[in-house]
Structure 1
Amino acid sequence: MGKRKRTTDEICEPQNALLPQKKHYRQRAHANPFSDHSLEYPAAPSTLNWDVYFPAFSSSGKTPEFADIGCGFGGLLISLATLYPETLMLGMEIRVQVTQYVEDRIAALRATSSGANYQNVSVVRANAMKFLPNFFPKHSLSALFFLFPDPHFKLRKHKARIISPTLLAEYAHVLRPGGIVYTITDVRDLHEWMKAHLEAFPLFESVDEETLRQEGRGPIIDAVYTSTEEGKKVERNAGEKWLACFRRVEARRNVDA
């Protein structure tokens, strides 16, 4: 009998064997951002040692430019890592097991990929609604991502939504002028909520998808649509996705006549 030809999956098995499997990281779908979670966080951005998260860039002096808030299983980070290899990206996730999964996934990809792939992405367990300014200095980020956030449908839960006037002040603080906020959801009501609050905030202005693609941000837009677990689930269910992007603008100063 002739020798059986190995399948593609079998050829890749040594690498796949190192990658974590979600079934070993069971976790509730959502976490209460107002709960008193046991979290460690820096007293100020200046006290944070980024070499722990990005050891390959320890002598570069670089700090994260992209932040994925509520990064889930890290799909966006992994998709963008090789597209922007010199840009440091940090995922922030409040759930313990999900954070551990992303950490293990990145470690496995670093170990099994060639060159410096995936050295520019990392994850931290953190409550971004409370501690975002503890991690990022003023105007240090060029992109903030809010992909398929918890919709908190009930009216009394709207205060827990990740986009709110108070939080937008913090996002404007860490995002540099010209930086982009990317939001996407499959919930029309939440889309309208996020869009309305961003439009009402004086330091953000709406920017359409076509303009962003013309500026060379097409790969980012594509990843926003398709890279996350939630985005793939919406596609499988033939659902709609609602994208809204906003540019951080300079503060407008009042000038006496």
Structure 2
Amino acid sequence: MGRAKKDRRQKREDYRAALREDDVTELPRKKFYRQRAHANPFSDHRLIYPPHPDQMDWSSLYPDYVVDEPQQDQQTPAPETPSDRELTPARPKRISKDVEVADIGCGFGGLLVALAPLMPETLILGLEIRVSVTQFVEDRIKALRRQNEAAGLYRNVGVLRANTMKFLPNFFRKGQLAKVFICFPDPHFKARKHKQRIVSTTLNSEYAYVLRPGGIVYTITDVPDLHEWMVQHFEAHPSFERVPEDEQEADPCVPIMRTETEEGKKVERHKGQKHVALFRRLEDPAW
């Protein structure tokens, strides 16, 4: 590695470390968090994920919602041996609400921070696979919380590094979510890479699993072929129906999705078109 490259990396690390000081309210700058535009979802990213949603500890993401629980009864026997102790998982701290909104591939968090004030009583989670981009969103949320401490804003939003193509049901129970956003996903133009698209027959079944009946999947892209792909796959799935256009345009989340994401702003600058489609989770049929 050349000296100039090492210096740039050191500068980025120093900047991020300084930004995480408790009293810093400055918003992070993207140039210190640059990373490749896309990541291969089939690679081993050494991610940490819970084996079951009930074992997920949300307390670090939503500290204002942590429930104070009484100390465990001292009569409870401790594990007998060190090996037993190692095999006994730590009990996660409970929070008072469930996450109900997920932004899959949240990028630099534009949609997250726009939705947070719109739905102040709802916990919103961004899911992002890229390390530096996730770190940027973490620092952005912390800065916004400090800037708006008196108003108590942005306490309901968090970000998690995760591969949703592999581990979505590890984080959410059946029917937990009310909204799922898929904004400007990687189009994977080549036919041999279509298996990496975030909308597919298999993945749509996972979205159906984590969404409650009546829940909505929001999709937007500037690529007509990808838009048609997503519409085709959701309409073919028995758990979803497309939301009519008049209802779609009346949804307050749609204009935010169009204008507040970084990709949406880029398309706007280039005078491109944005294709939107919403899909409602249907009730499961009676057996």
Taking structure 2 as the reference length, the TM-score comes to 0.80
Which among 159, 166, 170 is matched to residue 195 of structure 2? 159
Indicate conservation of the 8 Å contact 2:176/2:212, yes or no.
Answer: yes
Match of 1:68 in 2: 103
Match of 2:180 in 1: 144
Q: CA deviation at 1:51?
A: 1.6
1:119 & 1:237 partners in 2: Cα distance?
34
Indicate conservation of the 8 Å contact 2:25/2:143, yes or no.
Answer: no
Supply the AA of the counterpart residue of 2:52: A
1:203 & 1:109 partners in 2: Cα distance?
37
Which among 206, 213, 221 is matched to residue 177 of structure 1? 213
52-61 vs 90-99, which moves further: 52-61
1:209 & 1:118 partners in 2: Cα distance?
31
Q: CA deviation at 1:115?
A: 2.1
42-51 vs 126-135, which moves further: 42-51
Q: CA deviation at 1:121?
A: 0.3
Match of 1:32 in 2: 40
Counterparts of 1:62-211 in structure 2 under 5 Å?
62-113=97-148, 114-211=150-247
Supply the AA of the counterpart residue of 1:68: D
Indicate conservation of the 8 Å contact 1:148/1:185, yes or no.
Answer: yes
Q: CA deviation at 1:77?
A: 0.4
Rg comparison, structure with higher value: 2
Indicate conservation of the 8 Å contact 2:53/2:169, yes or no.
Answer: yes
What SS does the corresponding residue of 1:52 show, helix, strand or coil?
coil
1:16 & 1:204 partners in 2: Cα distance?
45
Q: CA deviation at 1:116?
A: 1.4
Q: CA deviation at 1:212?
A: 3.7
1:223 & 1:134 partners in 2: Cα distance?
28
Structure 1 residues 57, 213: CA separation in 2 closer, same or farther (over 3 Å shift)? farther
Indicate conservation of the 8 Å contact 1:50/1:63, yes or no.
Answer: no
Q: CA deviation at 1:18?
A: 1.2
Supply the AA of the counterpart residue of 1:251: D
Indicate conservation of the 8 Å contact 2:25/2:147, yes or no.
Answer: no
Structure 2 unaligned spans of 5+: 1-22, 68-94
1:210 & 1:116 partners in 2: Cα distance?
34
Supply the RMSD in Å over aligned alpha carbons: 1.4
Which among 247, 260, 263 is matched to residue 230 of structure 1? 263
Q: CA deviation at 1:58?
A: 1.4
Q: CA deviation at 1:17?
A: 6.2
Indicate conservation of the 8 Å contact 1:208/1:244, yes or no.
Answer: no
2:32 & 2:161 partners in 1: Cα distance?
18
Which among 276, 284, 287 is matched to residue 243 of structure 1? 276
2:208 & 2:183 partners in 1: Cα distance?
18
Structure 1 unaligned spans of 5+: 1-14
Supply the AA of the counterpart residue of 1:234: V
1:112 & 1:149 partners in 2: Cα distance?
31
Runs of 4+ in 1 over 2 A off after TM superposition: none
Indicate conservation of the 8 Å contact 1:144/1:182, yes or no.
Answer: yes
Supply the AA of the counterpart residue of 2:122: T
Q: CA deviation at 1:213?
A: 4.7
Q: CA deviation at 1:63?
A: 1.2
